[in-house]
Amino acid sequence: MNFGVNLKRSDGEIAAASYEDTRVSDETELFRLKLGKFNLECGTLGDSLRGDSYSRSYNSRNIAKTTHDEMHFSTRDKDNDAFSGNCAAIEKSGWWYNRCSAANLNAPMSNASENGIFSPDGVNWQSFSGLQTLSLQETEISLLPSGWNFSFC
């Protein structure tokens, strides 16, 4: 399938990203996310599902800790992440966590952007929303069958 996102920040800026040939496995594999090729034609968002923003903000060692590729889906009652704690409980949502997230489009809204402090809460895509201090205001996730002529940009 082709996976795309359209995002909007509280300052009104919008951006998009897409991945070709992305797969989500079935329940027997804990709904593992396998990201396909990141579409560079969009050009408006970094590849936060692979921890891209951390490579620029911190260092490359953090990519392995934040990539969502090959991760199982975790919820508060099904802790399938690679963190010693439970990222789904900490971030208050189900997602494909590794050692928590560089992107989380399922999180509840947060007022972290109002008080400018770090918060594990909030809808985020690190390369666009910053280091979890700006909760995204709108998100749209699109899934289309592979082979369809699509553009999320």
* Residue 62 near residue 51, CB atoms below 8 Å: yes
Class of the 2-144 domain?
Answer: alpha beta
pLDDT at 27: 96
Structural domain spans, the chain: 2-144
| Local mean pLDDT, 10-residue blocks, the chain (153 residues) | 87 87 95 92 79 54 75 97 92 91 84 52 77 73 79 64
pLDDT at 71: 96
Q: What separation, in Å, do the N-terminal and C-terminal C-alpha atoms of the chain show?
A: 16
The count of other CB atoms within 10 Å of the CB of residue 116 is 9
Which residue reads 């509280």 in tokens? 10
**Residue whose C-alpha is closest to residue 65's, from 128, 126, 122:** 126
pLDDT at 58: 47
pLDDT at 64: 61
